[in-house]
Structure 1
Amino acid sequence: MQVRFEGFPEEKIMDTTTLRGAYRALLDAAAMVAGADDLTVAAGEWNAEQILAHVSIVNAVTIAAAGTVSSGANTTYDNRMALDAWTIDRVIAAGGGNAGLRDRIRAQGEALCALAEHALSETELDTAVPTLLLSAGTVLVDQLVPLRDLIAGLADVELPGHTAQLLALLPDTTPAPVPA
C-alpha cells in the first residue's frame, strides 16, 4: 500500500532508480542465502547476518547524515561503527536475524530513497561531508564527499559489493564435469 501525503512532491530531486535496484538485488541475495543449506563462510569472513547488520549500520549512518544535513547542521560520515564486531552482534540481536535484518534494510532503503527523492534539496545533496571510510583496516576515503555521492556510493559500490559477498556464501552448485 502506497501512502501519499498531501503536498508531497511528485517530482524527484534525485533519481534513486539505481539505488532501489541495488537494495532489491541485496535483499534477493539475502533471501536466497537464508533459504540455503551448507553455506560457505571462509575463515575471517562475515556470515550472512553479519553482512546484513553491517549494511543496516551503514544505512543508519547514511540516513543520519542526510537528516543532519537537512536540519541545517554540520555532520560527518564515518563507517567505523559498521565494522565493529560488538556493534554488528548487537544489531543482529536487535534486528532478529536474517529475516528481521532484511525487513530493517528494506525500510531503511525506502526511507533513504524518500529523503533523496523528495526531502533533500539540490544544495543539501551537494553539501560536502567530511568522510572517513575504512575497509579491512585500510583507509579508502578520508576527504570531503558530497552527500549525493555518499548516497550514490551505496548504489554503485557498497550494496553490490555486499550482494556479491552474500552470493559467495552459497554452495557451489555447478555440476562436476563428466569424464570423457
Structure 2
Amino acid sequence: MDTTALRSAYEKFLGVAAEPDLGEAADGGWNADQVLAHVLSVDAATAAVALGVVSGARPTFDNRICLDHWNLGRIIAEHSGRAGLITRVRHQAAVLCDVADQVGEQAAAVLVPTFLMSGDELLLDQPVPLADLVNGLAENHVPVHTRQLADLRS
C-alpha cells in the first residue's frame, strides 16, 4: 500500500495540533486533547487490524471505543500534556504507515467487517477492503480532524 497521502495528512494534522492557541469547542464538542486521543485510538486500532489481516486472522474494525469519553480520558491521562499526546500520535501514525507500507496487494483487498459511528450517527456497517479502511484515514478521517482542530483556534 502507498501511504504517501496518509503521511502527508498526518503532517498537516500534527502541525495544526501544535498550534499554541487551541481553545475549547464553541459547540461543546471535543477539545484538542480529545481529538488527539481519538486519532491515536483509531490509528492503533487500524494498525491492529492490518497486522491481523497479514497474520491470517479475520479482524473487525469498530470505532466505538475510539469515541468513548472514558477511553479518551484514559489516553489523555497517560500522556504528559498536549506535547506528549502529539509525540505519541506522531509515533503511532508512523507505526500505522510502516505497517500499511508492508501490506501486499492480496492482504489490502481482504474485506474487513467495519462498523463506524460519528457521535450517535451510524456511518458504515459493512465489510470494506483493508486498503479502503487505511486510505479512508487519509481521504477523510485525518483531514476532518485537522479542520476540527483548526476550528479550535482562539
**CA offsets 1:115-137 (integer angstroms, 9 cap, x no match):** 111x2111111110000000011
TM-score computed with the length of structure 1 as normaliser: 0.83
Which contiguous aligned blocks of 4+ residues in structure 1 show a shift greater than 6 angstroms? none
Equivalent residue number for residue 166 of structure 1: 149
Q: Distance in 1 between matches of 2:97 and 2:137?
A: 11
Alignment of 1:64-103 (within 5 A): 64-103=48-87
Residue aligned with 2:114, SS: strand
1:84-129 CA-partner distances (Å, limit 9, x unpaired): 0000000001122311111111111111111111x21111111100
Q: Secondary structure at the match of 2:122?
A: strand
Q: How many residues align?
A: 154
The C-alpha deviation readout for 1:40-91, integer Å capped at 9, x for no partner, is: 4224300000000000000011011011111111100000001100000000
Contiguous gaps of at least 5 residues in structure 2: none
- 2:46 alignment partner in structure 1: 62
* 2:13 counterpart residue number: 26
Q: 2:131 aligns with which of 126, 136, 148?
A: 148
Q: Which residue does 1:36 correspond to in 2? A: 21
Aligned-partner residue type, residue 48 of structure 2: A
Return the structure number with greater helix share: 2
| Contact in 1 for aligned 2:44/2:96 (Cα 8 Å) | no
SS of corresponding position for 1:120? coil
* Bigger radius of gyration among the two: 1
Identity %: 47
Cα RMSD (Å) of the superposition?
1.1
